[in-house]
A and B are shown apart, each in its own frame.
Chain A
Amino acid sequence: MSETLKITDLHVAIEGKLILRGVNLTINRGEIHALMGPNGSGKSTLGNAIMGHPSYEVTGGAIELNGENVLEWDATGRSRAGIFMAFQRPMAIPGVKMADFLRHATTNVRNPERKEGEELIPMRQFRKELTEKMDQLRMDTEFARRYVNDGFSGGEMKRAEILQLAMLRPKFAILDETDSGLDVDAVKLASESIAEIGGEQMGILIITHHDKLLERNTPDFTHVMLGGKLVETGGVELARELYTDGYDRIRTSYPEAAAAEEAMTEVEAV
């Protein structure tokens, strides 16, 4: 049986303000889904809610991983169960070296039952694997000695996120605008890397505004989010239409969601 991340009628609020108003989405392992939509439509909110950010309150609906209730787990539990999110703006952790952080993270994700203080992956084995992965991503080994995201350029941050994806090998990955802030070459490299890491092994949800990331990661499904709902689902041709023509047709076709979007953006402007 294929593994499934299933989201049903998901409602999510931030500080009491409703952002997601009933999202339905099923991702099977091995599938690539593109999630598109105007800014502020709730795409990142969906990612954060799946990952278990404590500020994102699930007020209704369900998230299940192979039938298990994901909402009962904190972010740690979700990560160890095989869910990953590459952040749009990952946090800096000054003073903590990438290598130390990754060794902890990799150990925990690979041995979900590990208790605090128990042995980490042997240093030699870990180093070898990390060096290989960094070579593949054309990252300088010096990178491992830098502090996590501290003083990283936009491009470096995104590559560091992809490196984590490669090391942690999740079942399901959400990539939140992993292409933003990258130049053409960097996007190409990121795109190739994701295709290489992902393959049949992962179910991937790619949040993007552009087409570059999707060139090598052809989506099986494209979803459009508007006003906190997935209003339309199609194939790769839908993604092409959206980044060429924008969202005018979508707004016209779904006036109710468009109105909700307008209301949400107005509150933000105030």
Chain B
Amino acid sequence: MATDITEESSLGEINKYDFVTPTTAVFKAEKGINAEIVAQISEMKNEPGWMRDFRLEAFKIFESKPMPKWGGDISLDFQDIYYYLKPTNEQGKTWDDVPQEIKDTFDKLGIPEAEKKYLAGVKAQFESEVVYGSLQEDLGNKGVIFTDTDTAVREHPELLREYFGKIIPSTDNKFAALNSAVWSGGSFIYVPPGVKIDFPLQAYFRINAEQMGQFERTLIIVDEGAEVHYVEGCTAPMYTTESLHSAVVEVMVKKNGRCRYTTIQNWANNIYNLVTKRAMAYENALMEWVDGNLGSHLTMKYPAVYMMEPGARGEILSIAFSSTGQHQDAGAKVVHCAPNTKSRIISKSISKNGGRSSYRGLCKVEDGATGCKSNVVCDALILDSESRSDTYPYIEVEEQDVQIEHEASVSRIGEEQLFYLMSRGLTEAEASSMIVSGFIEPLIKELPMEYAVEMNRLIELQMEGSVG
């Protein structure tokens, strides 16, 4: 098959660029975590002293922090996890090692060959390397930096250090501390003042690091008047060998800047997906999170926007789909720290076949933040009597002159709606599927076209029960 030849030659190409450094090749990862392993990770990456100290400090915090008391039931043995995947392993992984069920799902989704391999963690397709190269050149001319975070530590230390761990300090929560101690990969983006990138930057193009690792660390800095849309993930099930995914994403949007961060993730059913995402938006800046969560055993994720200066806006659109053995504890946080700031949260969840979805959201208005507006809408759709949905809205307002709206609705897929559609010749399955796709339409229309198509297809597959 032609693709096999491509694979051979692309691996050759990769070796030419010397992606594997000799030190990493001999690194022996051990299960479990202690200060020594944390130091070792830093050493393997040839990191500067400050990053090593940052990691060790974070590890101490991790040890001292209790498990989160909210959300789902986390039964993880921290000593039974690899915290740094051996790059040698990664490089050696081939298409043949990918489980058949994952390949089948890719086929059903109609994902192109190159993307399939990328998604399954098979690195380095020649085609995307070329795309990435020309993209880099174009962006580079505008002063945009788009690289993996490990590279950024080496090549842009001052810039990175100014913001790294400042938006989400290691002390924030146990899993942010864990990530800070053992992070690897993730994206680093800097957009200079006034630069507007008119196409979405996709993690897909950035192929030279373990960007889909367990503990990725992403930092985006949008300078004054700049704009960027970053897209990560994909609707295909993410395949990893480990049971914990714990990322940290920090975003800084300066005066008049705009940032949209779109995530669509579909994890395997054994994964704990515990992610901390937070953005700070300054004067008249706009931060938007678009967040789609499917799969996983437990997801806890509440993208946050802190509106730091007058006129800042935060918008969060999230969707969760949970099925058998899955608990999606997802939501959003908006914190109004300055006057005349505005936020909007739209959250949609679907529970099916015994799945559980929870909306957990915080709307906070600090003292003195007058004239703020916040609008929260969360809708849950429950497809059968075994499934469950909960809403936990937290509202903390320390200011009188504000306008806060919260609407929540929970609906079972209505017998009346089903009957109506069936009376027009649709089967019960087609009718349910149509109701669900209508329910998530507000999110789908915010996605880039190719993601919208895949997301719709994935929901259809979920409804047929043939995935996951």
Q: A75-B422, A79-B422 are in contact. Are A94 and B438 (CB under 8 A)?
A: yes
A95 and B439 contact, CB distance less than 8 A? yes
Chain A 45-73 residues near chain B, CB threshold 8 A? 51-55
The 8 Å CB contact of B415, one of A55, A76, A85, is A55
Q: A95-B441, A96-B441, A116-B429 are in contact. Are A85 and B423 (CB under 8 A)?
A: yes
Q: A101-B434, A104-B430, A104-B434 are in contact. Are A93 and B425 (CB under 8 A)?
A: no
Chain B 409-443 residues near chain A, CB threshold 8 A? 414-417, 419-430, 434-435, 437-442
CB distance from A83 to the nearest CB of B (A): 8
| CB neighbours of B424 from chain A (8 A) | 79, 101, 104-105, 108-109, 164, 168
| CB neighbours of A101 from chain B (8 A) | 421, 424, 434
| CB neighbours of B437 from chain A (8 A) | 95-96
Nearest to B433 among chain A residues (CB) is A116
A80 and B425 contact, CB distance less than 8 A? yes
| CB neighbours of B442 from chain A (8 A) | 95
B428 and A93 contact, CB distance less than 8 A? no
Q: How far is the CA of A104 from the CA of B434 in the complex (A)?
A: 10
Nearest to B416 among chain A residues (CB) is A91
Q: 1/0 contact trace for A144-158 toward B, CB 8 Å? A: 000110000000000
| CB neighbours of A256 from chain B (8 A) | none
The 8 Å CB contact of B425, one of A53, A91, A105, A148, is A105
Asked if A87 CB lies within 8 Å of chain B CBs, one says: yes
Q: How far is the CA of A75 from the CA of B434 in the complex (A)?
A: 16
Q: How far is the CA of A100 from the CA of B421 in the complex (A)?
A: 12
Q: A87-B420, A93-B420, A95-B442 are in contact. Are A168 and B434 (CB under 8 A)?
A: no
| CB neighbours of A79 from chain B (8 A) | 422-425
Q: How far is the CA of A116 from the CA of B432 in the complex (A)?
A: 12
A168 and B417 contact, CB distance less than 8 A? no
Asked if A74 CB lies within 8 Å of chain B CBs, one says: yes
Counting residue pairs across A and B whose Cβ atoms lie within 8 Å, the total is: 84
CB distance from B335 to the nearest CB of A (A): 30
Asked if A199 CB lies within 8 Å of chain B CBs, one says: no
Asked if A90 CB lies within 8 Å of chain B CBs, one says: yes
Q: How far is the CA of A147 from the CA of B417 in the complex (A)?
A: 13
| CB neighbours of A133 from chain B (8 A) | none
Q: How far is the CA of A84 from the CA of B427 in the complex (A)?
A: 15
A53 and B419 contact, CB distance less than 8 A? yes
Q: How far is the CA of A240 from the CA of B424 in the complex (A)?
A: 33
| CB neighbours of B439 from chain A (8 A) | 94-95
The 8 Å CB contact of B423, one of A51, A55, A93, A100, is A51
| B: contact size bracket | 20 to 34
B417 and A93 contact, CB distance less than 8 A? yes
The tally of residues in A whose CB lies under 8 Å from a CB in B reads: 32
CB distance from B407 to the nearest CB of A (A): 14
Asked if A188 CB lies within 8 Å of chain B CBs, one says: no
Q: A104-B430, A116-B429, A116-B430 are in contact. Are A78 and B438 (CB under 8 A)?
A: no
Nearest to B444 among chain A residues (CB) is A95
Q: How far is the CA of A101 from the CA of B414 in the complex (A)?
A: 17
| CB neighbours of B419 from chain A (8 A) | 51-54, 75, 91
B423, B434, B437, B440: residue with the most chain A Cβ atoms closer than 10 Å: B423
Q: How far is the CA of A168 from the CA of B424 in the complex (A)?
A: 8
| CB neighbours of B440 from chain A (8 A) | 95
A109 and B427 contact, CB distance less than 8 A? no
| CB neighbours of B421 from chain A (8 A) | 93, 101, 105
Q: How far is the CA of A91 from the CA of B67 in the complex (A)?
A: 45
The 8 Å CB contact of B426, one of A78, A85, A105, is A105
CB distance from B434 to the nearest CB of A (A): 6
Q: How far is the CA of A116 from the CA of B460 in the complex (A)?
A: 11
Q: How far is the CA of A76 from the CA of B430 in the complex (A)?
A: 10
B414 and A74 contact, CB distance less than 8 A? no
Q: 1/0 contact trace for B395-418 toward A, CB 8 Å? A: 000000000000000000011110
Q: 1/0 contact trace for B48-77 toward A, CB 8 Å? A: 000000000000000000000000000000
B422 and A93 contact, CB distance less than 8 A? no
| CB neighbours of B414 from chain A (8 A) | 91
CB distance from A231 to the nearest CB of B (A): 28
| CB neighbours of A104 from chain B (8 A) | 424-426, 430, 434
| CB neighbours of A75 from chain B (8 A) | 419, 422-423
B420 and A74 contact, CB distance less than 8 A? no
B416, B424, B440: residue with the most chain A Cβ atoms closer than 10 Å: B424
Q: How far is the CA of A76 from the CA of B423 in the complex (A)?
A: 6
Q: A54-B415, A91-B416 are in contact. Are A76 and B422 (CB under 8 A)?
A: yes
CB distance from B418 to the nearest CB of A (A): 8
Q: How far is the CA of A80 from the CA of B427 in the complex (A)?
A: 10
Q: How far is the CA of A140 from the CA of B14 in the complex (A)?
A: 58
Q: How far is the CA of A7 from the CA of B420 in the complex (A)?
A: 22
| CB neighbours of A108 from chain B (8 A) | 424-427, 430
Nearest to B442 among chain A residues (CB) is A95
B425 and A109 contact, CB distance less than 8 A? yes
A51, A78, A96, A148: residue with the most chain B Cβ atoms closer than 10 Å: A96
The 8 Å CB contact of B438, one of A52, A54, A96, A105, is A96
Q: How far is the CA of A105 from the CA of B421 in the complex (A)?
A: 8
Q: How far is the CA of A108 from the CA of B424 in the complex (A)?
A: 8
A76 and B428 contact, CB distance less than 8 A? yes
Q: A53-B419, A54-B419 are in contact. Are A93 and B435 (CB under 8 A)?
A: yes
Nearest to A83 among chain B residues (CB) is B423
CB distance from A101 to the nearest CB of B (A): 7
Chain B 352-395 residues near chain A, CB threshold 8 A? none
Nearest to A167 among chain B residues (CB) is B424
Nearest to A147 among chain B residues (CB) is B438
Nearest to A109 among chain B residues (CB) is B425
B435 and A52 contact, CB distance less than 8 A? no
Q: How far is the CA of A168 from the CA of B435 in the complex (A)?
A: 20
Nearest to B439 among chain A residues (CB) is A95
Q: How far is the CA of A100 from the CA of B424 in the complex (A)?
A: 13
CB distance from B162 to the nearest CB of A (A): 43
| CB neighbours of B422 from chain A (8 A) | 52, 74-76, 79
Q: How far is the CA of A147 from the CA of B435 in the complex (A)?
A: 11
Q: How far is the CA of A168 from the CA of B416 in the complex (A)?
A: 20
CB distance from A105 to the nearest CB of B (A): 4
Besides the contacts A91-B419, A109-B425, what 19 more A-B pairs have beta carbons closer than 8 Å?
Answer: A53-B419, A54-B415, A76-B427, A79-B422, A79-B423, A85-B423, A93-B435, A94-B439, A95-B442, A96-B437, A96-B438, A104-B425, A104-B434, A105-B421, A105-B426, A108-B425, A112-B425, A116-B429, A147-B438
Q: Which 7 A-B pairs have the closest CB atoms?
A: A95-B438, A95-B441, A108-B425, A96-B438, A105-B424, A75-B422, A109-B425
Provide 5 A-B residue pairs closer than 8 Å at the C-beta atoms, listed in order of the A residue. Answer: A76-B428, A95-B438, A96-B435, A96-B441, A101-B421
